[in-house]
Amino acid sequence: MFNEYLFFEALSDETRRRLLLLIMKQGELCVCELFFALNLPQPKISRHLAVIREAGILATRKEGTWVFYRLHPQLPLWAAKILEMMAQGIEHGNIYHQDAKRLGAMENRPSKCDI
């Protein structure tokens, strides 16, 4: 069940907030897209995603070698609202804009493939 301690811990790191904002904006993203957008070492992305996932905030879906992350469907309402408010409050920061921009410039995105 959902653990408030892990939830707030997950939000306390900027890299994790960057990941969350992108995922929330796009609905679902695979690791390589997040990796490309944030322009950080892949193991770092992977580890931070694991922290968010283990907090119950993200769910995953596998498709071949890709792993897609999305908001967890059973996320408590109050937690979902906090994430919404967080996005609203911070999305105007430069870092988040740059992430979105890089993602937009990415070619051959798995999300956009028709399989």
Q: Which residues bind its own copies (CB under 8 A)?
A: 4-5, 8-9, 11-12, 14, 17, 76, 78-79, 81-82, 85-86, 88-90, 93
- Which parts of 34-114 are beta strand (E)? 58-63, 66-71
Question: For residue 77, what are its two tokens?
Answer: 């309402």
CB contact at 8 A, 99 and 38: yes
Chain residues 37-96 in contact with DNA, contact rule CB under 7 A: 40-44, 46-51, 60, 62, 64-67
Which sign does the torsion angle of CA 86, 91, 95, 99 carry? Answer: positive
CB of 82 to DNA, least distance (A): 18
Q: What does the binding site for DNA look like in residue numbers (CB under 7 A)? A: 9, 12-13, 15, 30-32, 35, 40-44, 46-51, 60, 62, 64-67, 110
